[in-house]
Amino acid sequence: MPSKKLKEFLDNNNIKYVTIKHSVAFTAQEIAASAHIKGKKLAKSVLVKINGKMVMVVLPGSYKVNFEQLRAAFENENVRLANEQEFMDKFPECEVGAMPPFGNLYGLEVYVDQSLAEDEEIAFNAGTHTELIQMSYPDFERLVQPKKMKFSFQSKV
């Protein structure tokens, strides 16, 4: 079952979504393959620290974060990947690494790569390593109000 907080938020906002169950998978590529979804349509959440402040960046599952572009966008050299110990307590009802891209529900600013905004629908972890939620990108954008920027590149793997 999707995280209670996420499900209530979507239901309270009358959002149409589908829950997709899949076999246990941890990486974005494994999840996409298991759920039969293109890697570009799977939104993955990555936690980043900018000058010590945690933010969530969301990008297609088949892409990688370009830290040089992030540093340039934030005009800050102190940008790095957050480690698990730094964020595991921020998402108490989610399995580590299965956080949905709704950082706003957890007090985090959200930045989305503009390549993800090109899709009509997105799918993302629902708080577990066995479930996704699929919904329209415009609904996601309306609820999360992420800042759009370019900070990723397509992975060759």
Write the DSSP assignment of 88-141 as a string of letters: GGG-TTS-TT---S-GGGGT--EEEETTGGG-SEEEEE-SSSSEEEEEEHHHHH
pLDDT in tens, 96-116: 889 999 999 999 999 999 999
CATH code assigned at 109 = 3.90.960.10
b/e map 47-68, b = 16+ CB within 10 Å: bbbbeeebbbbbbbbbbbbbee
Residue 10 falls in which region: left (phi positive, over 0), alpha (psi -120 to 50) or beta: alpha
121 belongs to a structural domain: yes
Domain residues for the domain of 21 are: 4-149
What average pLDDT does the segment 15-28 reach? 87
Whether residue 33 has pLDDT greater than 80? no
What average pLDDT does the segment 128-140 reach? 95
Whether residue 28 has pLDDT greater than 80? no
* Inter-residue long-range contacts of 90-93, CB under 8 Å, 24+ positions, other chains counted: 90/54, 91/127, 93/3, 93/4, 93/5, 93/127
Number of domains the chain contains: 1
Which has the minimum average pLDDT: 32-41, 51-60, 135-144? 32-41
pLDDT in tens, 69-86: 999 999 999 999 999 899
What is the C-alpha to C-alpha distance for residues 88 and 95, in angstroms, rounded to an integer? 8
Amino acid 2: pLDDT: 61
Average pLDDT, the chain: 90
pLDDT band for position 24 (cuts 50, 70, 90): confident
What is the C-alpha to C-alpha distance for residues 75 and 52, in angstroms, rounded to an integer? 14
Whether residue 46 has pLDDT greater than 70? yes
Whether residue 35 has pLDDT greater than 90? no
22 belongs to a structural domain: yes
45 belongs to a structural domain: yes
Q: What's the burial of 101, exposed, middle or buried (CB within 10 Å: 0-12/13-18/19+)?
A: buried
157 belongs to a structural domain: no
